[in-house]
Amino acid sequence: MDFWVTDDQVALAEGMRAFVAGRFPAEWLHSVEETDAVLDRTKWRELGDMGVFSLRSDGMGAREATLVYEELGRGLVPGPLVATHLAAELIDGAADGTRIVSMFEPSGGVTMIEHATEVDDLLWFDGHDLRRIDPASLTLDPVGRPLDPLGPVLICLDGLDQVRSNSAVIATGTPVRELSELGVLLTAALQVGVAAAATDLANEYAKGREQFGRPIGSFQAVKHMLAEMFVHADVARAAVRAGGCALDDASDAEPARAVSGAKAVAGHAALFCGKTGIQIHGGMGFTWEVDAQRYWKRAVALDVSFGSTDDHSLAIADMLIRP
Amino acid sequence: MDLRYTDEEEQFRTELRAWLESVLPDVGPTPDRSDWPARRAYDSRWQRTLHDAGYAGINWPRDYGGRGASPTEHLIFLEETERARAPYVGMNFVGLLHAGPTLVVEATPEQKEHHLPGILRGDHIWCQGFSEPSAGSDLASLRCRAVRDGDDYVVSGQKIWTSFAHVADYCEMLVRTDTDAPKHRGITWLIMPMDAPGIDVRPLRTMEGSTEFCEMYLDEVRIPVSNRVGNENDGWRVAMVTLSFERGTAFVSEMLDSMELCRELAELARKVTRRGGTAWDDLGLRRELGMLAAELDALWALTRRNISEATRTGLVGAGGNVFKLAYTDLRHRMGDLALRLLDRASLSLDDIGELPTGRHVQGRIHALSMSIAAGTSQVQKNIVAERLLGQPKERGWTSG
């Protein structure tokens, strides 16, 4: 057993972090969120060139994918990164980033689709089937003010039966379950990145911000919040990486439990670090300008994608009593 | 990043499992927790059994009679002994995991020869005289005084939280030998024989009702200078050496037991009735239980990461603090949930008929000590914030 990152894996993550910092800098993120079109097809193809969507068919595993997606989450890279990754082997052009694929996730009578008018295809996990939907076939109503400024959403006004009849089943059975598990895990990896970035931002702020003549990070009340953020993010990271191993080597653990656990723990971590990061920034945390709010908003958006913390907690409870 | 065990590791597991199956039938029932002589005999016998089969001091170097096992083998050892419900380390804890490792690194050849075999065979029980009534989190402020008198140190003062002091043979002691030096630089590490005159051991009753802990009152106890480990006034560094033995395995048995406890809580929830159904019908409660199970899985992953880090670097970094903070908080919440599940049955420390009240209520109480013992959660958070996150140091906080 050697559950520690290899040098190659460290290099992969560092390369991705540098790429994200270079191509998705804060100034760029802040400028596109003021427009209706957040997705940039040139940058999306660059993500494709970096192997973000194809790395598993390039010989790497789910564990490497978690490292890459943690970095994407850290950098608040916008767009349906997970859905496009899942489509890589099913929809031509997804793997290299020439087609952008988002998710169709109906929930509680409302279907909110992120980036619906900017993407080429939608994926729908419809029971045992995976369906491909042409977004142009849907009646869509844009949400005026999306919660996540980097995640424009549209409401689908069509009934599910109608959507079903206008879509095509592109996979069924076991491969669908496996793709769904991968989707859960990669979303959890994004959440770890968000949690870690929120922690880093608050940590740096606490070192520089002075009140009562001292850096606020010298007060134990603040110190302890920072430590709790770090703990949440680090525990979630371990869970996500173990989930990657479980998907790659099905013998190690039950993949369904591993990925559900990772999503629940990472979802909680992202929300916790998001809100605590805002608190540590004080009044500035409540401004549009400071990224603390962006991490929290992304944490919310990711929590309700591929099953919420609540959904996965319940799923695990049921696994506890299975014979 | 691979959670799979190697063929060699699986081989180690297979042999260990077969051995456990062969010896465990002869171990006999666990003695009553207040029968100290019987408990000592039980723990010593098990340690002797491990010793004779070559499993004593699993993580100790071979040169000193240990097995020299890798951190992963140590993990497997703890996994298998837990799975087979073999006895715990019990009162050999301090000797095997604290005093012994310190002696391995810091003691003279004579001291090693005199003490290490006895620890490994389970012949000698050790206790720890570190904390004092006024030196808890701020351990380095300890005041128990040792004054040199010829070939002896004469020790007077008070120690507290000394587990098993009333049955121990030796005590690893931290004493103040220089009252003028900065607090970390006036401390000395001594081996105190527990039969020396002047030691008054008084059991300390805990909120669990047990008397594992003791207070020790020392009145001019004479300890030969030859019992000093390391140099005079260098005891703080000597005491910290034991930390370098930590390989991320400290909580493995506990973790596995907690995972079992979580499954038992699910079973319990399906049994106890509520509002015309069972507690399991309560979705909120079920979700909490599922989340706890997810967190335990995550901490199990973290445990294996820490052990892997130790294998590669020889040390557990911050992972140890992260683990303890998360684990103790989790156990508090698990305990709270258990009491809510038991409802009015939680008013008993003993089982009620078929209801495993004892395990759950005592487990909840025990969790209250976890976030205090071996570094309170508040101290752990200071460490994470200062050493890992680089925040300014607390004034007077110099252990970092």
Q: What digits encode the pLDDT tens for the residues A129-138?
A: 999 999 999 9
Q: Which residue of B has its CA nearest to A232?
A: B326
My answer on whether A130 and A260 are in the same domain is: no
Q: Which of B6, B290, B312 sits opposite A315 (nearest CB)?
A: B290
Q: How far is B324 from chain A (nearest CA, A)?
A: 10
Q: ∠ CA A100-A14-A197 to the nearest 5 degrees? A: 75
Note the pLDDT of residue B111.
98
- List the catalytic residue out of B246, B254, B264, B386: B246
My answer on whether A230 and A183 are in the same domain is: yes
**A53 pLDDT more than 70:** yes
**Does the beta-carbon distance from A2 to B289 stay under 8 Å?**
no
A67 or A254, higher pLDDT = A67
A284-294 per-position pLDDT tens digit: 999 999 999 99
Q: How far is B158 from chain A (nearest CA, A)?
A: 30
**Does the beta-carbon distance from B1 to A260 stay under 8 Å?**
no
Q: CA A51 → CA A55, A85, A125, A237, distances in Å? A: 5, 10, 24, 21
Of A138, A155, A172, which residue constitutes the final position of a domain? A172
Q: Which residue of B has its CA nearest to A310?
A: B287
B67-87 per-position pLDDT tens digit: 999 999 999 999 999 999 999
In angstroms, rounded to a whole number, what is the distance separating the alpha carbons of residues B253 and A106?
43
**Does the beta-carbon distance from B389 to A203 stay under 8 Å?**
yes
Q: CA B309 → CA A3, A67, A240, distances in Å? A: 8, 17, 17
pTM reported for the whole predicted model: 0.96
- Average pLDDT (A53-77) is 96
A92-115 per-position pLDDT tens digit: 999 999 999 999 999 988 999 999
Q: Residue B324: which of B394, B379, B365 has the closest Cα?
A: B379
- Residues in chain B with CB shorter than 8 Å from the CB of A1 are 2-6, 9, 72, 75, 304, 307-308
Domain B7-88 sits in CATH at 1.10.540.10
All structural domains of chain B with their residue ranges: 7-88, 126-234, 246-388
Q: How far is B301 from chain A (nearest CA, A)?
A: 6
User: Quick check: is A1 in a domain?
Assistant: no
User: What CATH number is associated with residue A287?
Assistant: 1.20.140.10
What percentage of residues in chain A have a pLDDT greater than 90? Answer: 93
In angstroms, rounded to a whole number, what is the distance separating the alpha carbons of residues A300 and A294?
10
pLDDT band at B34 (very low <50, low <70, confident <90, very high): confident
ipTM above 0.95, yes or no: yes
**Does the beta-carbon distance from B381 to A223 stay under 8 Å?**
yes
- Residues in chain A with CB shorter than 8 Å from the CB of B3 are 1, 3, 242, 245-246, 249, 252-253
Mean predicted lDDT score pLDDT of chain A:
96
A147-184 per-position pLDDT tens digit: 998 999 999 999 999 999 999 999 999 999 999 999 99
Q: Which of residues 257-276 of A touch B (CB under 8 A)?
A: 257-258, 260-262, 264-265, 268
Of A152, A172, A192, which residue constitutes the final position of a domain? A172
My answer on whether A287 and A198 are in the same domain is: yes
In angstroms, rounded to a whole number, what is the distance separating the alpha carbons of residues A80 and A209?
35
- Average pLDDT (B42-70) is 96
Q: Which residue of A has its CA nearest to B260?
A: A320
What percentage of residues in chain B have a pLDDT greater than 70? Answer: 99
- Average pLDDT (B19-24) is 98
Q: Strand, helix or coil at B218?
A: strand
Tokens of B271: 């049994």
Does residue A173 contact residue A318 with C-beta atoms inside 8 Å?
A: no
What percentage of residues in chain B have a pLDDT greater than 90? Answer: 92
- How many separate domains does chain A show? 3
In angstroms, rounded to a whole number, what is the distance separating the alpha carbons of residues B198 and A223?
44
Ranges of H-type helices in B7-35: 7-23
My answer on whether A34 and A139 are in the same domain is: no
In angstroms, rounded to a whole number, what is the distance separating the alpha carbons of residues B390 and B357?
45
**Does the beta-carbon distance from A235 to B291 stay under 8 Å?**
no
pLDDT band at B399 (very low <50, low <70, confident <90, very high): very low
- Residues in chain B with CB shorter than 8 Å from the CB of A249 are 2-4
Does residue B174 contact residue B226 with C-beta atoms inside 8 Å?
A: no
My answer on whether A156 and A279 are in the same domain is: no
- Residues in chain A with CB shorter than 8 Å from the CB of B266 are 317, 320-321
Tell me if chain B has a CB within 8 Å of the CB of A220.
yes
B181-222 per-position pLDDT tens digit: 999 999 999 999 999 999 999 999 999 888 889 999 999 999
Identify the CATH homologous superfamily for domain B126-234.
Butyryl-CoA Dehydrogenase, subunit A, domain 2 (2.40.110.10)
- Residues in chain A with CB shorter than 8 Å from the CB of B291 are 264, 268, 309, 313, 316
Run of H or E including A21: helix A7-23
B79 is catalytic: no
Q: Choose the mutation target among B11, B391, B393, B397 for the interface with A, i.e. most A CBs under 10 Å.
A: B391
B328-374 per-position pLDDT tens digit: 999 999 999 999 999 999 999 999 999 999 999 999 999 999 999 98
DSSP strand pairing (B187-193 vs B199-203): unpaired
Tokens of B284: 């909120």
Does residue A8 contact residue A55 with C-beta atoms inside 8 Å?
A: no
Q: Strand, helix or coil at A215?
A: strand
In terms of phi and psi (left: phi > 0; alpha: psi -120 to 50; beta: otherwise), the region of B54 is left
Q: Which residue of B has its CA nearest to A208?
A: B391
Q: Which of A207, A261, A265 sits opposite B391 (nearest CB)?
A: A207
pLDDT band at B136 (very low <50, low <70, confident <90, very high): very high
In angstroms, rounded to a whole number, what is the distance separating the alpha carbons of residues A316 and A304?
17
My answer on whether A150 and A178 are in the same domain is: no
A22 CA to centre of own chain: 20
My answer on whether A13 and A70 are in the same domain is: yes
DSSP 8-state symbol, A5 = -
Does residue A100 contact residue A44 with C-beta atoms inside 8 Å?
A: yes
**A251 pLDDT more than 70:** no
My answer on whether A46 and A106 are in the same domain is: no
Identify the CATH homologous superfamily for domain B246-388.
Butyryl-CoA Dehydrogenase, subunit A, domain 3 (1.20.140.10)
Mean predicted lDDT score pLDDT of chain B:
95
Task: Write out the residue range of the structural domain in which residue A67 sits.
Answer: 7-87
Q: Tell me whether the CATH fold assigned to B126-234 matches the one assigned to B246-388.
A: no
My answer on whether A186 and A295 are in the same domain is: yes
**B398 pLDDT more than 60:** no
**B248 pLDDT more than 60:** yes
Of A111, A143, A172, which residue constitutes the final position of a domain? A172
